[in-house]
Structure 1
Amino acid sequence: MTVAEESHFGRAAARLGMAQPPLSQRVQRLERELEVRLFDRSSRKVALTKAGTLLLPEARELLARAGTLRAAARRIRDGESGLLRAALSPDIAGATVAALLTAFQEQCPAVELELNELSTAEQLDRFAARQLDVGLLHHPCDVNGLELGPVLRRDLGVLLPRASPAAKHTDVPLTALTGHDLVLFPRSGSPALYDDLLSTCARGGYTPPAVRHGRGASFVRGLVLSAAAVAFAPRDTQGDSEDPDLAWRPLTGAPLAWRHSAAWPRGHGDVAVRAFAEAAEQALRATADARPDAPTRSMHLRPAAEYWL
Structure 2
Amino acid sequence: MDIVGHVRCFVAVAEERHFGRAAARLGMAQPPLSQRIQRLEKELGVRLFERTSRSVTLAPGGALLLDEARALLTRADTFLAGAAHIRDGRSGLLRAALPSGIAGELVSAILAVLHRNQPGLEVELHELSTAEQLARMASHELDAGLIHHPCDTTGLELGPVQRRELGVLLPPASPLASHTEVPMPALTGHDLILFPRDDAPAVYDELLTTCARGGYTPDTVRHGQGDSFIRGLIHSVNAVALTPPDPGHPADGGDQDIVWRPLTGTPLAWRFSTAWPKDRNSAAVTAFAEAALEVLRNTTGVSTDLSSRPLHLRPASEYWL
TM-score between the two structures when normalised by the length of structure 2: 0.68
Quick check: 1:275 aligned with 2:287? yes
Partner of 1:254: 266
Listed as ranges, the matches of 1:1-309 within 5 Å are 76-77=86-87, 80-236=90-246, 238-240=248-250, 241=253, 244-296=256-308, 302=314
* 1:303 shift after superposition: 6.7
Per-residue deviation, residues 256-290 of structure 1 (Å, max 9, x unmatched):
11111000001311111011001101111113431
Amino acid at match of 2:220: A
Please tell me whether the aligned partners of residues 107 and 275 of structure 1 are also in contact (alpha carbons under 8 angstroms): yes
Please tell me whether the aligned partners of residues 96 and 288 of structure 1 are also in contact (alpha carbons under 8 angstroms): no
SS of 1:130's equivalent in the other structure is coil
Amino acid at match of 2:263: L
Per-residue deviation, residues 75-128 of structure 1 (Å, max 9, x unmatched):
624863210000000121111111111111111111100000000011011011
Amino acid at match of 1:279: A
Structure 1: gaps of 5 or more residues = 1-72
Q: Find the aligned partners of 2:309 and 2:215 in 1 and give their Cα distance.
A: 27
Equivalenced residues, count:
235
Aligned CA distance change for structure 1 residues 243 and 132 (closer, same or farther; 3 Å): farther
Q: Find the aligned partners of 1:120 and 1:300 in 2 and give their Cα distance.
A: 13
SS of 1:287's equivalent in the other structure is coil
Q: Find the aligned partners of 2:230 and 2:151 in 1 and give their Cα distance.
A: 24
Q: Find the aligned partners of 1:128 and 1:242 in 2 and give their Cα distance.
A: 46
Q: Find the aligned partners of 1:258 and 1:82 in 2 and give their Cα distance.
A: 32
SS of 1:76's equivalent in the other structure is helix
Q: Considering only CA atoms, is the larger Rg found in Structure 1 or Structure 2? A: 2
Please tell me whether the aligned partners of residues 166 and 244 of structure 2 are also in contact (alpha carbons under 8 angstroms): yes
Q: Find the aligned partners of 1:298 and 1:217 in 2 and give their Cα distance.
A: 30
TM-score between the two structures when normalised by the length of structure 1: 0.71
Per-residue deviation, residues 42-86 of structure 1 (Å, max 9, x unmatched):
xxxxxxxxxxxxxxxxxxxxxxxxxxxxxxx78624863210000
Aligned CA distance change for structure 1 residues 205 and 297 (closer, same or farther; 3 Å): closer
* 1:213 shift after superposition: 0.3
Aligned CA distance change for structure 1 residues 83 and 262 (closer, same or farther; 3 Å): same
Q: Find the aligned partners of 1:304 and 1:266 in 2 and give their Cα distance.
A: 27
Amino acid at match of 2:302: A
Q: Find the aligned partners of 2:208 and 2:157 in 1 and give their Cα distance.
A: 27
Quick one: percent identity of the two aligned structures? 61
Structure 2: gaps of 5 or more residues = 1-82
Q: Find the aligned partners of 2:221 and 2:255 in 1 and give their Cα distance.
A: 23
Amino acid at match of 1:251: L
Q: Find the aligned partners of 1:131 and 1:79 in 2 and give their Cα distance.
A: 18
* 1:245 shift after superposition: 3.2
* 1:239 shift after superposition: 1.4
Per mean C-alpha deviation after superposition, the further-off stretch among 164-173 and 195-204 is: 164-173
